[in-house]
Structure 1
Amino acid sequence: MSTVSFNRIIFSILAISFVLTGCVSKEKTTERMYQALENIVESEKAFEEQQDPLVELEKQEKEIYNQIMALGMKQHDEIVKLADEALSIIDKRREHLQKEIDSINASKTEFKNAEEIKNEIDNSEQKKKATELLEIMSNRYKVHNKLAKEYSSALDNDKELYQMLKNESISYEKLEDHVTILNTIYQKVYDANEEFNELTAQYNRKKLEFYEEAGLKLENE
Structure 2
Amino acid sequence: MLNVRMNRIIFSIFAISFLLIGCVSKEETTERMYRALENVVKAEEVFEEQQEPLVKLEKKEKEIYDRIMELGMKQHDELVKLADEALSIIEQRRDHLQKEIDSINDSKIEFKQVEDIKNEIDDTEQKKKASELIEIMRNRYKVHNQLAKEYRSALENDKELYLMLKNESVSYEQLEEHVTNLNTIYQLVYDANEKFNALTVQYNAKKLEFYKEAGLKLEND
Q: Which residue of 1 aligns with 2:124?
A: 124
Please say which of residues 77-86 and 17-26 is displaced more in the overlay.
17-26
Equivalences for 1:149-168 in 2 at 5 Å? 149-168=149-168
3-state SS in 1 of match to 2:167: coil
Give me the CA root mean square deviation: 1.0
Q: How many residues align?
A: 218
3-state SS in 1 of match to 2:2: coil
Q: Give how far 1:5 is off.
A: 1.8
User: CA separation in 1, counterparts of 2:94 and 2:49?
Assistant: 14
- Say yes or no: does 1:11 pair with 2:31: no
User: CA separation in 1, counterparts of 2:179 and 2:152?
Assistant: 16
Output the TM-score relative to the length of structure 1. Answer: 0.96
| Partner deviation per Cα, 1:7-49 (whole Å, 9 max, x = no partner) | 3113211112342222212100000001000000000000000
Q: Which residue of 2 aligns with 1:68?
A: 68
Equivalences for 1:43-122 in 2 at 5 Å? 43-122=43-122
Give the residue type in structure 1 aligned to 2:187. Answer: Q
Give the residue type in structure 2 aligned to 1:81. Answer: K
Gaps of 5+ in 2: none
Give the residue type in structure 2 aligned to 1:187. Answer: Q
Q: Which residue of 2 aligns with 1:21?
A: 21
* Contact 2:101 2:148 (C-alpha < 8 Å) held by counterparts: yes
Equivalences for 1:33-44 in 2 at 5 Å? 33-44=33-44
Give the residue type in structure 1 aligned to 2:60. Answer: Q
Give the residue type in structure 1 aligned to 2:124. Answer: S
3-state SS in 1 of match to 2:217: strand
* Contact 2:133 2:207 (C-alpha < 8 Å) held by counterparts: yes
- Identity of counterpart residues, as a percentage? 74
User: CA separation in 1, counterparts of 2:185 and 2:83?
Assistant: 20
Please say which of residues 115-124 and 12-21 is displaced more in the overlay.
12-21
User: CA separation in 1, counterparts of 2:153 and 2:137?
Assistant: 24
Q: Give how far 1:85 is off.
A: 0.1
Output the TM-score relative to the length of structure 2. Answer: 0.96
* Contact 1:6 1:186 (C-alpha < 8 Å) held by counterparts: no
Gaps of 5+ in 1: none
Q: Which residue of 2 aligns with 1:209?
A: 209
3-state SS in 2 of match to 1:207: helix
Flag as ranges the 4+ runs of structure 1 deviating above 4 A. none
